[in-house]
Chain A
């Protein structure tokens, strides 16, 4: 210890040359760490899905309304070719609160042609739409019950996959699956958004299955414990045009002790 050892006092302006050198060295080191850290954290992020949420831009879709059991619009995309677009509400909510307001006026909806203006959500062949105001729904009064889609029984099957909320998964959030997103998916499904099982078939193709209870009614609260975890789900499969449905008992869902998100990323 030398007698003239530097002594730094914060409220004096001067800093000894030795101290200055040290601090400069520290700052350079921190800058290097900052650069390295940004690279490590920035570049190691898993790739994001190329899903789309057209927030702030409205699209009008027209089709026949049905709920089997989840509200959808059967939209003709080519002559006699239909796509069923899932209807969603604002935020972490189903479209039901808006539909309730419309029904309160005494309007029956199933089988009628609706035009809905909202924000499209789409990814990998599935399309949904977010409605933000019931004023954006216009109804034609004619009934087209004969044009409602039909469900075909496909038998009892098991899938390994992850239960996700379709709103986030198909576009609103990235990643919209896995552990980080689990609590949001719970909120969404608890808010009435239909649960979807994201899985892959034997050929490795992505497959999305809407889940219902064993009698084909909406399932929400009962399934919350199984969301966002790798799980084996067993039930009766039904096909309705471009969507599959699975009728299940929550007792038949087996949570697998596997890594978060492995079936969906």
Chain B
């Protein structure tokens, strides 16, 4: 396949390189040689013709060499009919095959569950548009902070802090990455949490329980 691609690309490249060279000649002299009317026309017309000469230089070359390219009138009604019949027969099946395996429903992006309630006791819980946070009792009198990030947040370096008495960043809890649920073991009870971006140096959200 790679060989075939190389052949196609080389042919295309050669075709367009010759076309470009021919195009320059064509604009300067060739066009007027083929059709004397060009001499009577404004020069800008030749520039309009230039791209066409790049595309069709083999035919124009034949014309320059004096070969006729057949000047008979054309009646293509039959050709149109044959083409459209073939399109009508061949294309729909292939189009169908290309999409038959697609599922047309929007695929459900699984949303992360709220913290599982298999713990002994949920002490506090609060939710805003970014987060759901709960403080729960787990075994051995230990406490755990469950934080669910509801959606991907547009920040590069998110960190989670416990807030101090005056509502500022007090103690680091951990980093927050993708959306989903995070579980942190905590030693003391906390008043609230604060989401802070280290690089942007801004508080994204905070709340008290």
Chain A–chain B contact at Cβ < 8 A: yes
A-side residues, CB < 8 A to B, are 46, 49-52, 59, 61, 75, 77-79, 81, 83, 85, 120, 122-127, 200, 203-208, 242, 257, 259, 262, 265
Residues of A within 8 A of B151 (CB): 50
Query: Is the beta-carbon distance between B156 and A122 smaller than 8 angstroms?
Result: yes
Question: Is B69 located at the chain interface by the 8 A CB criterion?
Answer: no
Binary interface profile of B, 55-87, with partner A (CB < 8 Å = 1, else 0)? 000000000000000000000000000000000
The SS class assigned to the B binding surface is loop
A208 neighbours in B (Cβ, 8 Å): 178
Contact A125 B112 (CB under 8 A): no
Please give the residue numbers on chain B whose beta carbons come within 8 Å of chain A beta carbons, in ascending order: 101-103, 106-107, 109-113, 151-159, 172, 174-181, 198-199
Q: Are A78 and B179 in contact (CB under 8 A)?
A: no
The 5 A-B pairs of least Cβ separation, nearest first, read A125-B177, A204-B110, A205-B180, A77-B198, A124-B152
How many angstroms from the CA of A14 to the CA of B39 in the assembled complex?
A: 33
Interface of A is mostly: strand
Supposing A203-B113, A204-B111, A206-B180 touch, asked if A83 and B175 sit within 8 A by C-beta, the answer is yes
A selection of 22 A-B contacts at a CB cut-off of 8 Å is: A46-B106, A49-B152, A52-B154, A78-B159, A78-B172, A81-B172, A81-B174, A83-B157, A120-B156, A122-B155, A123-B154, A124-B153, A125-B177, A127-B157, A127-B199, A203-B110, A203-B180, A205-B112, A206-B178, A206-B179, A207-B178, A265-B107
Q: Which residues of B contact A259 (CB under 8 A)?
A: 101-103, 107
A205 touches B199 (CB 8 A): no
B177 touching A124, Cβ below 8 Å: yes
One of B154, B156, B157, B176 near A50 (C-beta < 8 A): B154
- With a cutoff of 8 Å between Cβ atoms, the chain B residues found around residue A85 in the complex are 156
> Within the assembled complex, what's the spacing in Å between the Cα atoms of A78 and B106?
40
Smallest distance from the beta carbon of B154 to chain A beta carbons, Å?
5
Distance (Å) between the CB of A203 and the closest chain B CB? Answer: 6
B175 touches A242 (CB 8 A): yes
Query: Known: A49-B152, A205-B112. Is A77-B199 also a contact (CB below 8 A)?
Result: yes
Q: Which of B101, B181, B198 has the most CB of A within 10 A?
A: B198
Please measure, in the bound complex, the distance between the C-alpha atom of A81 and the C-alpha atom of B158, giving whole angstroms: 11
| Contact across chains for B102 and A205 when beta carbons are under 8 A apart | no
A residues within 8 A CB of B103?
A: 259
A149 to chain B, nearest CB (A): 14
Q: Known: A83-B157, A127-B157, A203-B113. Is A120-B177 also a contact (CB below 8 A)?
A: no
Q: What CA separation (Å) do A75 and B177 show in the bound complex? A: 15
How many angstroms between the C-alpha atoms of A206 and B103 in the bound complex?
22
Contact in complex: B179, A205 (CB < 8 Å): yes
Determine the residue in chain B with the shortest Cβ distance to A257.
Answer: B101
Of chain B, the residue at the smallest CB distance from A129 is B156
Distance, CA A81 to CA B199, complexed state (A): 13
Residues on A with beta carbons closer than 8 Å to the beta carbon of B159: 77-78, 81
A203 in contact with B107 given A75-B157, A79-B172 (CB within 8 Å): no
Within the assembled complex, what's the spacing in Å between the Cα atoms of A53 and B190? 35
Of B153, B154, B155, B157, which is in contact with the most chain A CB atoms at under 10 Å from its CB?
A: B157
Closest to B174 in A: A81
Indicate if the CB atoms of A125 and B174 lie closer than 8 Å.
Answer: no
